[in-house]
Amino acid sequence: MNKEKNEKFVLWFDEITKADIPLVGGKNANLGEMYQTLTQTESKTFRGEKISVPYGFSVTAASYRYFMTANKLDQEIKDILKGLDTKDIHQLEDKGQAVRQAILQATFPKDLQDEILFAYTELGKKLKLSASALDVAVRSSATAEDLADASFAGQQESYLNIRGGHALLEAIKKCFASLFTNRAISYRVDQKFDHFQVALSAAVQKMVRSDRGSSGVMFTLDTESGFKDMILINAAWGLGEFVVKGIVTPDEYKVFKPTLKKGFDAIISKRLGSKEKKLIYASEGVSPTKEVAVVDADRHSFTLDEKQILRLAKWGAIIEEHYGRPMDIEWAFDGITKELFIVQARPETVQARRDVKVLEEFVMLEKGKVLAKGAAVGSKIGQGKARYIKDATQLDQFKAGEVLITEITDPDWEPIMKIASAIVTNAGGRTSHAAIVSRELGIPAVVGCGNATTAIKNGQPVTVSCAEGEEGKIYDGLLKFQINKHDLTNFKAPKVDIKMIAADPELAFTHCFLPNRGVGLAREEFIISNFIKIHPNALIDYKKITDERIKEQIDELTLGYDDKVKYYVEKLSYGIAQLAAAFYPYDVLLRFSDFKTNEYANLIGGKLYEPEEENPMIGWRGASRYYDPNFEKAFSLEVAAVKKVREEMGLWNLNVMIPFCRTPEEGKKVVETIYKYGLKNRITKEARAKKKNGDLVEAMEIWVMAEIPSNILQVDDFSEIFDGFSIGSNDLTQLTLGLDRDSKLVAHIGNEKNKAVLVLIHNLIKKAHANGLHVGICGQGPSDFPEFAEFLVKEGIDSISLNPDTVLKATIKIKEVEDKVAGSK
């Protein structure tokens, strides 16, 4: 007699859809859904692209319930769990162990066993493999797991490289038992899930030989900020468990979805992970897998090439499009067949629940000694006494409010993780177990520190900051910080365009949620000093450098790059691209490098190329460097980075700006130099008209900083060369009044409100508008001085650019000024 679908012990992937969660759990339902739809039909967004999912079958929830009933386990488990207090770590451990042991000692009913073994044999036939050669992954899939509003990350187990019928049955039984791991029991109690309303299904899926290749995790949004236009990929060598559990620090890649969908190579960031070890097949011994060290050549190489990154990103976008929501995906690359596969997909549950109308901003008010650094998870700050936990025997030592310090977090530690004020690990990346759980719990975590367990002492008071970019810091002591909450529910923007001042690419995806119309000043210097750290000429002349210490420093920073010039261009392009992507499709105005000679000299190798000047503030800086024979090649690398961002990544919203351009003649030389190195697609009147209508156009604008009186006194001449003016009020004030802005002796004499400065700004706006060009201003003046903001509004300024920490407050003030000006007319 044929069984109904909900009674079957085995269902194949091509029999399952996403509607079958009650029958096979979330993991299996998604595998079946993807296998039936996305592996069979080409994507409309990416022509010719279909995802690959290894074939297999599901041992259903009906099998689990039959197994439990046949062995009379339900009542036995209820008796064991009676009176459970999940806050009592020892009691939770003892009762959890007793439940799992009861399941592992039970036996499969014969009819269930026969059906599972028959399916395993059939899988071998379909894949044309013998029983001894058929290696499968057995993955747990709970019926309440991977739901849109509940994450059960890492609560049940997966078993890899399972071969033969006996090993398969044991792995399935272990999966059944994993429904009652300590963390799963604790989680269900906290989430008010009935233990016996949840069942477990097991996926039996052909293994991908990523032990000979690579594997990892992919999210279709930025896991830290919730920015939804990004694909985030983590990758490491070997089987995927080490990435998921945070045992290794993986490579990290970011891909920008909007331009990926337009056909561009939209990789906007690549970061090399340490990848010290990997999990591979074991040829002998009890365990089917083993840990081995990764050779240095592989540690210092990127795991994926650009084609693989882009293909995975396309698959992530296809899966997201199909489900209509952000997704958390696991993938694997078969080192033997050289094929990519998707092995799991589930809805992302943390950022999906976030209320973007209320922004919570953590701000450090003090700085102290940095004990350790790693990848920041979230953007919060936590503090307390450090508590080093080495293994499960020490869990009862952990007290509420302490900072958990460990090598990696174990899923069984969830009861102490939820009472921690912060989590710090030596290993792991942003998609590790520690990262996923800390996001769900809403506490800060710093992962992949390398030395946290030795650098931080037990009981030492520490402050864990994830509020300063992608690099998280653990400070000595309990430092002061504050939390600013911004409710945007009834926010109304002023008529003048409010833009951002941006420098740190790692904060851009958080800051873009603030009300804005793009970036009026993106500072290149931050990217060079914080991410590149090397003077461009030292990279150009790398082979000629005789100073071994400088060469060692360069070699250490440029791991993975044989071509040192490529390192500079790629690193710079990735930093710029993240700024442009975060605010896309609004304009992002990038100011080319404006280091002074003393600042350039501080870069690695900089003293070999930089002269000493008495007053660098008014010396060899800005435009004067770009066409100079001593710097032109270095400037060409900046142009190459911009060209890569615009033409390869498709971020046409990126425009450029020339700082400290003293004369129109100098302006012409700089523009010719930009053209010389390939950036020739200059904006036309027609394209500018389209932009006014809100269209994104491919043509590029070249603006000039209006920060020297000559820029304004010769505004008509500069208007013939450039496409817009951005007032640099600090330099304009000091050069108009003859001040050294760094000297406290004369600082009291004037500021942006000085009449001479206001006259110059009035003339600039009036004449630039007469020439059809926009004028913006970047600086703190409008937010510090309401009367200055009122003056700018009256003069008809087109945009005001502000630092992120003042945007909301200043925007509200500017809106009030606009209303006041409008009421006085």
- Cβ–Cβ < 8 Å for 131, 120: yes
- Cβ–Cβ < 8 Å for 441, 363: no
- Cβ–Cβ < 8 Å for 607, 678: no
Q: How far apart are CA 749 and CA 737, in angstroms?
A: 8
State the catalytic residues: 433, 778
Cis peptide before 786 (omega within 30 of 0): no
Q: How far apart are CA 73 and CA 79, in angstroms?
A: 10
* Residue 111 vs residues 8, 118, 274, 491: alpha-carbon distances, Å: 12, 11, 49, 64
Q: How far apart are CA 408 and CA 453, in angstroms?
A: 10
DSSP per position, 4-69 = PGGG-SEEEGGG--GGGHHHHHHHHHHHHHHHHHTTTS--SSSTT-------EEEE-HHHHHHHHH
Q: Give the position of tokens 């997704």.
A: 327
Q: How far apart are CA 596 and CA 613, in angstroms?
A: 9
Q: How far apart are CA 613 and CA 171, in angstroms?
A: 72
Report the candidate in 359, 364, 356 with the shortest Cα–Cα distance to residue 381: 364
Residues 6+ away with beta carbon under 8 Å from 156: 140, 141, 142, 145, 175, 178, 179, 181, 184, 200
Q: Give the position of tokens 């006996």.
A: 166
CA atoms within 13 A on the CB side of 687: 13
Q: How far apart are CA 44 and CA 574, in angstroms?
A: 28
- Cβ–Cβ < 8 Å for 48, 36: no
Q: Are strands 724-728 and 774-778 parallel, antiparallel or unpaired?
A: parallel
What tokens does 475 get?
């400070």
- Cβ–Cβ < 8 Å for 423, 445: yes
Say whether 544 sits in a helix, a strand or coil: helix
Q: How far apart are CA 815 and CA 800, in angstroms?
A: 12
* Residue 349 vs residues 27, 120, 187, 235, 436: alpha-carbon distances, Å: 14, 33, 15, 21, 10
Q: How far apart are CA 674 and CA 639, in angstroms?
A: 7
Tally of residues, the chain: 825
Q: How far apart are CA 808 and CA 492, in angstroms?
A: 11
